[in-house]
Amino acid sequence: MESLLPFEKTERKILVRKEAETSDKFGCKPEERQTEEIINYGIVNIDKPKGPTSHQVSDYAKKILNINKAGHSGTLDPAVTGVLPIALGRATRIVQTLLTAGKEYVAIMHLHKEIEEEKLKKTIQNHFIGKIEQMPPLKSSVKRQLRTRTIYYLDILEIDGKDVLFKVGTEAGTYIRKLIHDIGKKLGIGAHMAELRRTKAGPFDESTLFTLHELTDAYYFFKEEKNEKFIRKIIQPVENGVKHLPKVWVFDTTVESLCHGIDLKVPGISKLHNNINHNDIVAIMTLKDELIALGIAKMTSKEMLGEKGIAVQTEKVFMLPGVYKIANNL
């Protein structure tokens, strides 16, 4: 059975509270935005190379695209490679949501002595799946205190002598180097991390990876040769950064008030995902699948199918006011 992060296992169905259509006079589908807007309000999934820090890679992307700001979702050590989603321009506010999403890594653990495969697998299964306790390493950006993290799965892919290739799905904030050290300690033989690559960060995986060189070339083709094809392939709409979240879709006439930070009330909802629980982070969307805001659910899905009350407390607004302003007068 394929190992999946928690949100990948969740089967979401759409519940219709009240059928509605959206007017083509307001907004547009995310994939139909102008290229300049996508560059200033999108996400690029960079294949981080060895050497630079995550911050440096983010800064390179900002300079390549000639934009004011860019932010990465989850720090990778300079020697670590792989999935590094970078939010561009106005999309940088999405980063916090991605920081808390699950991560997947492929690593090589070098054991200090050879050991029976069965003992290794049994130790991992009994002590390193589910809730574990970790002390952040000396070189870390967080306070050094014991904290609990969840290991969703740890699959051994190959063993070659003292080298163990494995895939691990973890809660955000899990230190893989420390995990490997602790496995070695539990085995009584010691171990250290030889290689590490991130293969998933929330909804982003290796299928949409591009290098900084490819980003540079795509921007050149766009600016110098007026060819949008490559830059539009590389930069994804900001909405792709909330694929892992439950969603609520609202009527055109509800959008403008949300853009001003007003909480979402039940009468403004057209449809929603099932399985929404109290205090879940929820993405509030237009009927064209544009991201309006992120909020905290104050009701369950079942309660949102009712007639009144505050359904979602608006926390972080993404859509600029005015896009659906005239819709209120229809």
DSSP state for residue 278 in the 8-state scheme: T
Burial class of residue 180, CB neighbours in 10 A (0-12, 13-18, 19+)? buried
Is it the case that residue 96 has pLDDT exceeding 90?
no
205 is catalytic: no
User: So what's the pLDDT on residue 143?
Assistant: 66
pLDDT tens-place string over residues 275-311: 999 999 999 999 999 999 999 999 999 999 999 999 9
- List the catalytic residue out of 59, 77, 205, 289: 77
DSSP class per residue in 217-255: HHHHHHHHH---HHHHHHEEEGGGGGTTS-EEEE-HHHH
Domains and CATH numbers, the chain: 6-30+245-329 (2.30.130.10), 33-99+204-238 (3.30.2350.10), 103-201 (3.30.70.3190)
Residue 142's pLDDT band (cuts 50, 70, 90): low
- Cα separation, 177 vs 189, whole angstroms: 16
Q: Which residues of 122-157 are buried (b: 16+ CB within 10 A; e: fewer)?
A: eebeeebeeebebebeeeeeeeeeeeebebbbbeee
Beta strand 247-250 pairing with 281-285: parallel
Please state the φ and ψ torsions of residue 201, each to the nearest 5 degrees.
-140, 100
8 A C-beta contact, residue 112 and residue 162:
yes
Residue 328's pLDDT band (cuts 50, 70, 90): low
Span 106-134, average pLDDT = 96
Helix, strand or coil for residue 145? coil
Residue 330's pLDDT band (cuts 50, 70, 90): very low
Residue 2's pLDDT band (cuts 50, 70, 90): confident
pLDDT tens-place string over residues 207-243: 999 999 999 999 999 999 999 999 999 999 999 999 9
User: So what's the pLDDT on residue 325?
Assistant: 84
8 A C-beta contact, residue 259 and residue 320:
yes
**% of the chain exceeding 70 in pLDDT:** 96
- Cα separation, 12 vs 244, whole angstroms: 10
Q: Identify the residue with better confidence: 320 or 140.
A: 320
Nearest to 243 by CA among 71, 98, 100, 91: 98
